[in-house]
Amino acid sequence: MVTTRDAKPDAHDITCRQAVALMEAHLAECEGCAEHLRQIRITVAVTGRIREEDLAPAVRDDLMDLYRRWRRDRPAS
């Protein structure tokens, strides 16, 4: 596996184009992953337009609490 930009690929590495082609082929066949990707795209599009002042203070507090709990409860890497 290539770990730096300067490292040379070996016989087990694939190019970015090959990886993208594999992902696209998988998404064409896997409804679950295609739906998940669709939801991520919607989330990115929507959250990219939300400003802090668009949220009611209680909603902002709830979201911050949810985020803090997620950070606290996720496994250490």
11-62 per-position pLDDT tens digit? 678 899 999 999 999 999 999 999 999 999 999 998 888 888 888 999 999 9
Taking 80 as the threshold, does the pLDDT of residue 73 lie above it? Answer: yes
Report the candidate in 37, 40, 58, 60 with the shortest Cα–Cα distance to residue 50: 60
In the three-class reduction of DSSP (H, G, I as helix; E, B as strand; rest coil), residue 15 is classed as coil
Q: What is the pTM of this model?
A: 0.49
Q: Give me the pLDDT at residue 65, please.
A: 94
> For 74, phi and psi rounded to 5 degrees?
-75, 150
Report the candidate in 19, 14, 12 with the shortest Cα–Cα distance to residue 27: 19
- CA separation, residue 72 to residues 48, 59, 62, 64, 77 (Å): 25, 20, 15, 12, 12
